[in-house]
Structure 1
Amino acid sequence: MKGAIVLLGLVVVGALVGAVAASAGVVRRPVVPAMFVLGDSTLDVGNNNHLPGKDVPRANQPFYGVDFPGRAIATGRFSNGYNIADFIAKYLGFEKSPLAYLVLKSRNYLIPSALTRGVSYASAGAGILDSTSAEISIPLSKQVRYFAATKAEMEAAVGRGNVSRLLAHSFFLLGVGSNDLFQSTATTQGDVIALYTALISNYTAAITDLYGMGARKFGFISVSPLGCVPAVRVLNATGACNDAMNQIAMGFTATLKSALAGLAPKLPGLVYSLGDSFAALETTFSNPQAAGYENADSACCGSGRLGAEGGYCTRNSKLCTDHDAYVYWDWIHSTQRAAELGAQALFNEGPAQVTAPISFGQLAHER
């Protein structure tokens, strides 16, 4: 059996396995050997379903997954179907996001998946800081430790050299920080600067650790306009966005952009792309109809004003008629359609590019 696994590893490194293409629906080879995902609920594909505790945020009941292709069941994604990790994986040539780490561990299938598709460590509620929802999620630092454990098992199966080559060409997707900002009590400029400093310190430490273990291609998704999610809008009598919260989120993205530009030269061979969620959603909020939406401020699945007064989507929630016409599925998370358009923006090149210094597509093809 070990010989078969070694052969599998050599095949993965030497020639990428075929998968379903992102847009055309034709079979082609993935452009990277594997995809490793770290982040929060925007990327989670089921890790939180395996965490103990009644307060753990989980998307394990209807109407989550109501539009998930083929099965229409809750999969652990905070979406009516696919999330943005799935669509990014499709653009890379895979069928969908790699499976969740805790799911793979429970099925004793971690290493075969890691060698051929990758692994998702993303966890709803996760933060860059260990203090952010640490008891009900998998914080970024622990996700990095899970990756280290995965790498050790991969090396035991197919050898250090094969794993090193695989990781150097794999796509590392990171999207985290929203929960840290949501839970922050920073109000003064000094508090905000201190928060940015702590977040960037922890984030760059995680990136450096991943780099030290062999990661070279990093795709980052910045925090979105947090002040415009239904959960925040509903606190305003007019339903308008919270500009102060958006300014803090924009400031963090700018700080991260500067930090990455400074970090990359210190880590030879590291290449990255930072996706600007604000730029990607600018047209959506200014003119929802032009972006193909009927509604950009309410939850499709929810209750009360803006569909945001009942919290998460449940089987007792009220559903909008056209799921694709809404930006938000529940009080915080996007619909499958919004996730698809978001992934398109990350791979877009040219005048409307929302990524820097290169697009996700260019990053994937870096050698």
Structure 2
Amino acid sequence: MRCHHQAIVVVTLLVVTMASVVQLAPAVRRPTTAPALYVFGDSILDVGNNNHLPGAGVPRANTPYYGVDFPGGARPTGRWSNGYSVADLIAQAMGFERSPPAYLSLTPRSSRLVVRGLGGVNYASGGAGILDSTFAGRNIPLSKQVRNFGTTRAQMIASLGSTAANDVLSQSLFLIAIGTNDMAAFAITQQQQSDVAAFYGSLISNYSAAITELYGMGARKFGVINVGQIGCAPLQRAQSPTGACADGMNALAAGFNDALRSLLGRLGSDQQRLQGLAYSLGDLYGLMQAIIADPRAAGLSNVDAACCGGGRLGAQSGCQPNSTLCADRRSYLFWDYGHPTQRGAELVATAFYDGPVRFTLPVNLKQLMLS
């Protein structure tokens, strides 16, 4: 692979739903379905945590053209998008203005305001993995994100009291989208096929530990997004002479998704040990299959190239101030070598929040929050 971003931040797939899926309702400032949103994951959900991490090797979306369409200033905000992210759009569907603030952006004063005013916190980090070893030292892995939430919870208890804090947490949405970077790191090491089962086992063990730990700290409602067809992102397509998807990468993601679905089923049915745990699993992989089969049905004209970038399919260099920028960003699925445009994020959020049953299991996010 020739893109220098490959070993720093990995493809995070987005997909769009079909034209029959309704648009998101306009954002409102008062939440209607939950008191708070707590966000964990990688760059599809990161809203600026990586901007506060030290080190030259940390992936950051803090230069133009990132944020070129972001409301109120057209500036880079740490979101891997031209505008709003998936986290923002799901938050808006819930009734918030946008994603809660990045955890590392909080000062002692603003942290107190967040705790007292609720709304939640975003802990996601570009390049993060389920495994601590995934691009270690360049991101905040899932286990550390969960520990950071523990700090927030302690502040909530100190401010609100244990009973009130736990009541808030039990009604809040815990949104998780992670795993893509683990797949890419595994592929880079070119491990043998015989290692795949052990790899999945490590991922599922860590994922289970994270959900169980969050449950122990008061979480009850989990919105989980699986890994999309990572082999069909521009970065992967650019490696093929014909621009075809990388079937091996897609197969790696599909196998993990099967294991993740089984894990959530087991956790959700273990009501003796995890009483009250409920979840919604968003099928990002299935959405990608649908849009590749019929791109025009989603109202998009380009689903294989990056809107902002350089080289073949715009994927051989990152989105930079001197990059080539597409003219119609609303018609592109991918913003850069593997992240959604704002339009793509809108459609993804719509599909998982209140979309068709074929893309969520056992319920969509709205139904989860109203249960």
Give yes or no for TM over 0.5.
Answer: yes
Return closer, same or farther for 1:29/1:51 CA change in 2, 3 Å cut-off. closer
Q: Using the alignment, how far apart are the partners of 1:53 and 1:76 within structure 2?
A: 16
Aligned twin of 2:176: 174
Ranked by relative contact order (alpha carbons within 8 Å, sequence separation 6 or more), the top structure is: 2
The counterpart of 2:135, out of the listed 133, 136, 143, is 133
Q: Secondary structure at the match of 1:109?
A: helix
| 1:181 aligned counterpart, secondary structure | helix
- Say if 2:253 is the partner of 1:249: yes
Task: List alignment gaps of at least 5 residues for structure 2.
Answer: 1-22
Equivalences for residues 346-361 of structure 1 within 5 A: 346-350=352-356, 352-361=357-366
Please name the residue that 2:15 is paired with.
Answer: none
| d(CA) in 2 for partners of 1:167, 1:27 | 20
The one-letter code of the counterpart of 2:194 is: G
Task: Give the letter for the 1:34 counterpart.
Answer: A
Task: Report the AA paired with residue 293 of structure 2.
Answer: S
The SS at the match of 2:140 is coil
- TM-score normalized with structure 2 length: 0.89
Q: Which residue of 2 aligns with 1:323?
A: 329
Does the CA contact (< 8 Å) of 2:28 and 2:96 recur in 1?
no
Cα deviation for residue 157 of structure 1 reads 1.2
* Structure 1 position 286, deviation (Å): 1.6
Q: Go from structure 1 to structure 2 and tell me whether the alpha carbon gap of 1:133 and 1:108 turns closer, same or farther (over 3 Å shift).
A: farther
Partners in 1 of 2:136 and 2:74 — Cα distance? 31
- In structure 2, the residue matched to 1:365 is 370
CA distance in 1, matches of 2:51, 2:134: 19
1:188 offset after TM fit, Å? 4.0
C-alpha distance in structure 2 between counterparts of 1:103 and 1:170, whole Å: 21
Equivalent positions of 1:306-345 (< 5 A) are 306-310=313-317, 312-345=318-351
- The Cα shift of 1:250 comes to 1.0
Q: Please, what TM-score do these two structures have when normalized by structure 1?
A: 0.90
Long gaps (5+) in structure 1: 1-20
Check if 1:88 corresponds to 2:66: no
- Aligned equivalents of 1:48, 1:207: Cα separation in 2: 23
Contact 1:353 1:359 in 2 (8 A): no
Specify the alignment match of 1:300 in structure 2. 307
In the alignment, which residue of structure 2 is the partner of 1:6? none
Work out the number of aligned pairs and report it.
343
Please state how far the C-alpha of 1:83 moved relative to its aligned partner.
0.6
| Aligned amino acid, residue 319 of structure 1 | L
Aligned-CA RMSD value: 1.5
Counterpart-to-counterpart distance in 1, 2:34 and 2:96: 9
Shift of 1:280: 1.6
Instruction: Give me the whole-angstrom Cα distance separating, in 2, the residues matched to 1:46 and 1:274.
Output: 25
Q: Distance in 2 between matches of 1:32 and 1:41?
A: 24
| Stretches of 4+ aligned residues off by more than 6 angstroms | none
CA distance in 2, matches of 1:349, 1:301: 29
- Provide Cα deviations, 1:124-183, integer angstroms capped at 9, x if missing partner: 010000001220100000000000011111111111111010000010000001000011
**Inter-partner Cα distance in structure 2 for 1:320 and 1:192:** 38
